[in-house]
Amino acid sequence: MFRLLKLMAYGLLGYAIYEFVRGAFGGEIEQMVGRMQDQMQGGGSQGGGGSSNLHRDAARANMTGPGEGDVEDTQDNDGGSVRHAVGRGVVS
């Protein structure tokens, strides 16, 4: 009985650590894996790869993200609800 509880606790702790690491690194891990796969498939040749690399890493140029904002629901005093974009990068 206690072994099962101990196993469940270790599983939850491991999952929490996994999610923390995944959240801390964001999409960088997937980007690194994608780059390694591209290098292995391309044979490591650099001919013409520079321009596509610029397009692929354009999102990384802004360290804090693309700045698109989030769509949120806000409630009016009369009980109505309005959806609008809020956050960094929203201009209207």
Higher local confidence (pLDDT), 43 or 31: 31
Q: Tell me the three state secondary structure of residue 84.
A: strand
How many CA atoms within 13 Å lie on the side-chain side of 7?
A: 4
Read off the pLDDT of residues 47-65 as tens digits, 9 standing for 90 and up: 444 444 544 555 555 555 5
Taking the C-alpha atoms of residue 63 and residue 28, their distance in angstroms, rounded to an integer, is 11
Domain extent listing, the chain: 1-39
Percent of the chain scoring above 70 in pLDDT: 65
pTM over 0.75: no
As a whole number, mean pLDDT of residues 22-45 equals: 74
Contact 91, 74 (CB under 8 A): no
Taking the C-alpha atoms of residue 80 and residue 74, their distance in angstroms, rounded to an integer, is 8
Residue 48: its pLDDT value, please? 46
Read off the pLDDT of residues 10-32 as tens digits, 9 standing for 90 and up: 999 999 998 888 877 777 777 77
